[in-house]
Structure 1
Amino acid sequence: MGEETGTKRCRGKVLTFRPRGAPELDPFDVINVPLLQLVPTLKPEELEESIKRAEAVVFTSVTGVEVVKEKVPSVFNLIKGKNVIAIGPKTAQALREVGLEAIVPKEFTSEGLVELLRNYNSIVAVRSSKGSKELRERLGNKLKEVIAYETLRLKRKEVAELLNEVDAVVVSSAEIARALIESLEEAGVDPSKALSETEIVVIGPFAAKPLEELGIRFHLAEEATFEGVKRKLIEILCNK
């Protein structure tokens, strides 16, 4: 397979690990092996009471929006009239589909969210149990976190073999990075050595931390979205 991009020709296979299925990374072939299991834990009463008192409501993932939609869709009516913030454009689109227009920070990261939220005094964040600590540490008592889902890491030995079949690997969260490292260890493979032999694209600086701890080199997407990941893949894989 291949596609012309300017004067370059793109081709290759990319390995991803998203729990909700493969991202669209055309023109590349994507192999997706989920390394996380998402378990809804949302308490509707807690969310409703928190939103009533909140000035701003934050969604840090599309999954959070989907869990609320499934478990307590009436909450979206409560949110109308509040300041609604989404971590990035995909989450904003998911909110738009349930009738909410969201503000998106300039940087689609926890740090970008902090900068946007500084001026609010009462904030509810609908998020994963394994979300970045940065919101809690920087916003303090202004922030009420409502955990929408637990994230469980999976160990998939087949990842070790798949690394030999692809041209690049995409890491889209710190938990995925940890699950990838644990999967390679489970297969009896040294993660540092195995991952040094392929190209790795990471969606954002927080997702990169487990790799940095092992001294594993990687390419950081310039924008923390899968569109940013795709542009970085094109940069490193096209016309090789």
Structure 2
Amino acid sequence: MPGLEGKVLAVTRSKKEAGEFFQLIKKEGGRVVAVQAIEIIPETEAADKFLKLVSEKEHDYCAFMSAQAVRILFGRRRKKAVSALANTWVIAVGPKTRQELQKYGVKAVMPRRYSSIGLVELLAKKDQNGKKIIMPRSGEAGEYAAGALQKLGMEVDEVFLYRARTARATRAWEKFHAMLLEEKIDVVVFTSASNVRSFFEIAEKLGSVRIGAKVISIGPFTSAELAKRGIEHYEARDHTIEGTVQLAKRLLRGRSA
């Protein structure tokens, strides 16, 4: 039986990026409002830098921290990227990232927890002293993963394939903001720390940052960014879009998170 009948859930992604969220919420009988908080800006020379580093240093591991990183790298240098990673143990931070890699014929393992913390836990199971890892990722990425892996004795290279900038306050944003203030939104789902920062930047431009809806975070670093702003929130146990939907169902049914 569907569990979100008559409920309105908002996600801080564009309609194109929120496809899975739309499908899951529709299946549960709910309605989705997608508001794009950030725009992705590829770094033009980053893909070549990545390939050069992998060729020169022959990394033991390559950890992809987002599906976006996979799309940007393989979209620009597909054949070269596949070839460069042939002898490297590839790690995908979560299911969507692994699915994106599979499109290019690249097999990847995943940590038990779909986050930077999970990545570190996975690699900490073995002696990594002197091992080399390269991480293609966002320019807004936090410092936790690189610092924790260095403490394991690893040599870490980060390549910032793209950066995020705050999206414009469009008509869609104005409509969403009005719905939020009128308490016509039941749940707001935040999918990254950068989404949190940009969300509140846009909301401030529109005049208010009050959120009467329940707030769900996809993972620990998103939660930390919400906590900085004193926003009461719930964190999905499973750090995926499906995990946030299951949490929303429990919250809106009055069950324990």
TM-score normalized by the length of structure 2: 0.84
Percent of residue pairs identical: 25
Residue 17 of structure 1 corresponds to which residue in structure 2? 12
Equivalent-residue separation in structure 1 for 2:248 and 2:66 (angstroms): 23
Question: Unpaired runs of 5+ in structure 2?
Answer: none
Higher mean displacement: 74-83 or 53-62: 74-83
Residue 205 of structure 1, CA deviation: 1.3
The answer on whether the counterparts of 1:10 and 1:237 sit within 8 Å (CA) in structure 2 is no
Match of 1:220 in 2: 235
The match for 1:89 among 82, 87, 95 is: 95
Q: Which residue of 2 aligns with 1:60?
A: 65
2:112 match: 106
- Structure 2 CA distance for aligned equivalents of residues 47 and 216 of structure 1: 37
- In the alignment, which residue of structure 1 is the partner of 2:188? 169
Ranges in structure 1 where 5+ consecutive residues have no aligned partner? none
Q: 1:176 to 1:9 in 2, by over 3 A?
A: closer
Q: Deviations over 1:40-80 (max 9, x none)?
A: 11523311122232111110000001001211112112112
Q: Secondary structure at the match of 2:140?
A: coil
CA contact (8 A) 1:87 1:104 kept: yes
Separation of aligned partners in 1, 2:244 and 2:254: 17
Residues 60-119 of structure 1: per-residue CA shift (max 9 Å, x gap): 000001001211112112112210000001101111111111110011111111122344
Query: Residue 102 of structure 1 aligns to a residue in which SS?
Result: coil
Aligned AA (2:47): P
TM-score by length of 1: 0.89
Aligned residues: 231
The worse-fitting range, judged by mean Cα deviation, of 15-24 and 89-98 is 15-24
SS state at 1:73 partner: helix
Q: Secondary structure at the match of 1:216?
A: coil
Residue 53 (structure 2) aligns with: 50
Shift of 1:9: 6.2
Distance 1:176 1:116, change over 3 A: same
Task: State whether structure 2 residue 129 is matched by structure 1 residue 116.
Answer: no
Give the aligned residue type for 1:210: E
Cα distance in structure 2, aligned partners of 1:83 and 1:126? 14
What's the Cα RMSD here?
A: 1.9
**8 Å CA contact retained: 1:171, 1:177:** yes
2:202 aligns with 183
